[in-house]
Amino acid sequence: TSTSSEAPGTTWRSRSGRTGSLARQRKPDVACDVCTGRKLKACKSCLQCLASYCEKHLQPHFEVAPLKKHKLVEPSKNLQENVCSRHNEEMKVFCRTDQQSICLLCLMDEHKGHDTVSAAAERSERQRELGVSRQNIQQRIQDREKDVKLLQQEVEAINGSADKTVGNSEKIFTELIRLMEKRRSDVKQQVRSQQQTEVSRVRELQEKLEQEITELKRKDAELEKLSHTEDHNQFLHDYPSLSPLSESTHSSSIKIRPLRYFEDVTAAVSEVRDKLQDVLREKWTNISQTVTEVDVLLSEPENMTRAEFLKYSCDITLDPNTAQTLLLLSDENRKVTLMTEHQSYSSHPDRFTDWCQVLSKESLMGRCYWEVELRGRVSVAVTYKNISRAGSSDECWFGGNDKSWALYCESPQSSRVGVYLDHRAGILSFYSISETMTLLHRVQTTFTQPLHAGLRHNHLTGPEKPLQDTK
């Protein structure tokens, strides 16, 4: 540490750059009560005289015997406050019972029997407490300055990370755009090249057919001319000399695909577009949630209100390809109902075959919140996507394995459950929602994969057609 000497009343600047006042402040000047005209600055005050004196007028207190016994203190404008208004005596005692300064006569009178100490002793005690308070304040100042420095470092780290991420994202998307441009150019080049090849083939065949037509017309003219020969001998003489017909190219050998040339290419490109859109739509949720999970100052879930939870709300839609066949999806795949008959779903490897379960389309990362309206024996769950689907073993059952977590609910009336997920912190909480939010259960673990929301009906004696509606 380093120390420095500074004049009273000056200001200082901390390492953090903030300015403040020194603890020792310059006291206001007190004028001499004896001086006439221009009053000089007092150097002492007398508690007996209740007056302040400059150096010249103070001299009698050092020379006159009765005055030598007077109590001199630092110059003060509030001398009267040091004197008992009732007994006109110096207040040298402090009454702790009444928390006030008193004189010796007060001690023998109205403050008799009270808890009293000398003013000096009380001052010493209060001075010690003041010192402790100052130490605590100074320690808090140091702690807060450290916190401010830490937060400043966090700001710099956040800005640096954000700038780097934006740069990397720009680079990645530029590469994707460049790749798409190249594929677009490749398709265009291949189509034009194939177009040229096919047109050349057609032109070549067209020329052959036109040559054949010319030859046939010439032959037809010879035959026509011969057919008009009146001399029989001449006809018989000229007929063998006619050249034989060349092999004909029958039109039936030319296979034309009407109205379909490069349309299949368009269909293939459209399929690529649709798959890219599906991937981007699915992965964009992960990207968006990963961005929002950047939260330096994490709030404790138990201290959050429903309004604060709703800041992390996400849309949940159910995946028809995962629904067991007794489950009917409706309301744009946001509602699932248990039916008495199997639904005509197509075969799909993601479908649960035995347990009446269904998963969300969306994968969940970061901090997410959603609510479920339910009735009946229902389990609200989250699970990894690679949970088993076929069979009735625990490996397929929500909550029966290390890939899923579920809360079993039984409610004859409609009720609402809120689910809060903090993927990074490994927190999964279930809340009962009415006028207030009541924590039902919390899981603290480590999530290693993206999660999906899930619902299961736990019917034991047959379907009861309960309503499970994700919001």
What is the predicted pLDDT for the residue at 461?
A: 35
What is the predicted pLDDT for the residue at 400?
A: 92
Distance CA 125, CA 123 (A): 5
- Report residue 236's pLDDT band, with 50, 70 and 90 as the boundaries: confident
Q: Could you give the angle at which helices 263-292 and 119-227 cross, rounded to 10 degrees? A: 180
Q: What average pLDDT does the segment 161-187 reach?
A: 93
Q: What is the DSSP code string of 95-147?
A: ETTTTEEE-HHHHHTTTTTS-EEEHHHHHHHHHHHHHHHHHHHHHHHHHHHHH
What is the predicted pLDDT for the residue at 300?
A: 54
Instruction: Enter the tokens of residue 81.
Output: 């406050």
Higher pLDDT, 320 or 244: 320
Q: What average pLDDT does the segment 413-431 reach?
A: 90
Strands (E), 295-403: 327-330, 335-338, 357-359, 367-384
What is the predicted pLDDT for the residue at 129?
A: 92
72 within 8 A of 44, measured Cβ to Cβ? yes
- In whole angstroms, how large is the CA radius of gyration of the chain? 49
Q: Which CATH superfamily is domain 44-124 in?
A: Classic Zinc Finger (3.30.160.60)
What is the predicted pLDDT for the residue at 5?
A: 33
Q: What average pLDDT does the segment 74-89 reach?
A: 82
Query: What number of residues does the chain have?
Result: 471
Of 138-147, 216-225, 357-366, 460-469, the one with minimum mean pLDDT is 460-469
* Percent of residues, the chain, with pLDDT higher than 90: 51
- Report residue 466's pLDDT band, with 50, 70 and 90 as the boundaries: very low
- Report residue 289's pLDDT band, with 50, 70 and 90 as the boundaries: low
What is the predicted pLDDT for the residue at 19?
A: 38
Tell me the CB-side half-sphere exposure of residue 287, using CA atoms within 13 A.
Answer: 9
Distance CA 134, CA 72 (A): 29
Please determine, for residue 301, whether its predicted confidence score (pLDDT) is greater than 70. Answer: no
Q: Tell me: the pLDDT tens digits for 193-230? A: 988 988 898 898 889 889 888 988 988 898 888 888 88
Return the domain boundaries, the chain: 44-124, 306-470
| Fold of the domain built from segment(s) 306-470 | Jelly Rolls (2.60.120)
Q: Tell me: the pLDDT tens digits for 318-369? A: 999 999 999 999 999 999 999 999 999 999 999 999 999 999 999 998 889 9
What is the predicted pLDDT for the residue at 302?
A: 62
Distance CA 251, CA 209 (A): 9
364 within 8 A of 453, measured Cβ to Cβ? yes
What is the predicted pLDDT for the residue at 239?
A: 82
What is the predicted pLDDT for the residue at 32?
A: 94
Distance CA 367, CA 295 (A): 10
Residue 375, SS3 per DSSP: strand
* Percent of residues, the chain, with pLDDT higher than 70: 85
Higher pLDDT, 252 or 11: 252
Q: Supply φ then ψ for residue 358, to 5 degrees.
A: -150, 150
Q: What average pLDDT does the segment 165-183 reach?
A: 93
